[in-house]
């Protein structure tokens, strides 16, 4: 992935998805709070509202907004889009590839946010993280990644939006770092 923006424009990266998708854990890898591959998933508290931090992204200081995925917060973001979706450079959408029961909700949430991103940050790069592709995960006939893409690709095509996607897992820290350009 390449970064081609004006030097003076601040970089804003948002990471969005349903609750328990792994967004905060992903950011903990990027900020070195998690430095080694764990033997079991870390115990995390849910993100309440938006947690803002700064990371070095493509050797540039980047404002990161981790949007909590609980329904109350999702409704807040969708109700006040100008507050959350303005001037985004990178839009990371995290899909829990093992959560069959929330797949439809995740698709609907993405659709709502995507339309707002196009309105308030039309040049934002769209990146999907199909997270929790753990070593013991065996894709079955549910094919959640395929079903998610099948539901959202027409919207992306209609908006003439290119996207990048990565399979990530906390059990392979490098998979996360690659998705953010920290390693190749």
**Which pLDDT value is given to residue 8?**
62
161 vs 45, more confident: 161
Closest CA to 176 of 44, 31, 10: 31
CA distances to 6, 9, 93, 109 from 17, rounded to whole Å, are: 28, 26, 6, 8
Residue 5 falls inside a structural domain: no
Residue 1 falls inside a structural domain: no
Residue 3 falls inside a structural domain: no
Residue 43 falls inside a structural domain: yes
Tokens encoding 61: 């200081």
CA dist., res. 126 & res. 163, Å (int) = 5
pLDDT band at residue 78 using 50, 70 and 90 as cut-offs: very high
pLDDT band at residue 182 using 50, 70 and 90 as cut-offs: confident
**Which pLDDT value is given to residue 2?**
53
**Which pLDDT value is given to residue 6?**
47
**CA trace torsion 100, 102, 106, 112 (10° rounding):** 140
Q: How many CB atoms lie within 10 A of CB 169?
A: 22
Residues forming a β-bridge with 53: 64
Mean of the pLDDT values across residues 66-84? 94
pLDDT band at residue 31 using 50, 70 and 90 as cut-offs: confident
Residue 133 falls inside a structural domain: yes
CATH number assigned to the domain comprising residue 23 = 3.40.50.300
Q: What are the pLDDT digits (tens) for 80-138?
A: 999 999 999 999 999 999 999 999 999 999 999 999 999 999 999 999 999 998 888 77
Closest CA to 94 of 173, 14, 20, 23: 23
Domain range enclosing 66: 11-179
CB 96 within 8 A of CB 20: yes
pLDDT band at residue 7 using 50, 70 and 90 as cut-offs: low
For the chain, the domain total comes to 1
Q: What are the pLDDT digits (tens) for 127-176?
A: 999 999 888 877 776 789 999 999 999 999 999 999 999 999 999 999 99
pLDDT band at residue 16 using 50, 70 and 90 as cut-offs: very high
**Which pLDDT value is given to residue 137?**
78
Residue 51 falls inside a structural domain: yes
Q: What is the largest CA-CA distance in the chain?
A: 48
- pTM of the prediction? 0.91
**Which pLDDT value is given to residue 46?**
82
């Amino acid at each position: 992935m390449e970064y081609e923006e004006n030097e003076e424009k601040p970089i804003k990266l948002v990471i969005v998805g349903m609750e328990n998708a792994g967004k905060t854990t992903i950011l903990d890898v990027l900020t070195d709070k998690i430095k080694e591959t764990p033997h079991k998933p870390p115990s995390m508290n849910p993100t309440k509202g938006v947690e803002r931090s700064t990371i070095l992204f493509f050797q540039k200081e980047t404002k990161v907004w981790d949007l909590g995925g609980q329904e109350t917060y999702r409704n807040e973001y969708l109700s006040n889009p100008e507050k959350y979706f303005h001037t985004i450079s990178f839009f990371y959408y995290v899909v829990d590839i093992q959560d069959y029961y929330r797949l439809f909700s995740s698709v609907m949430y993405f659709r709502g946010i995507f339309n707002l991103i196009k309105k308030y940050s039309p040049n934002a790069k769209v990146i999907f993280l199909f997270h929790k592709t753990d070593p013991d995960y065996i894709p079955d006939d549910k094919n959640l990644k395929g079903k998610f893409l099948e539901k959202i690709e027409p919207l992306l095509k209609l908006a003439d939006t290119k996207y990048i996607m990565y399979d990530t897992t906390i059990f392979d820290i490098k998979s996360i770092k690659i998705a953010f350009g920290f390693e190749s």
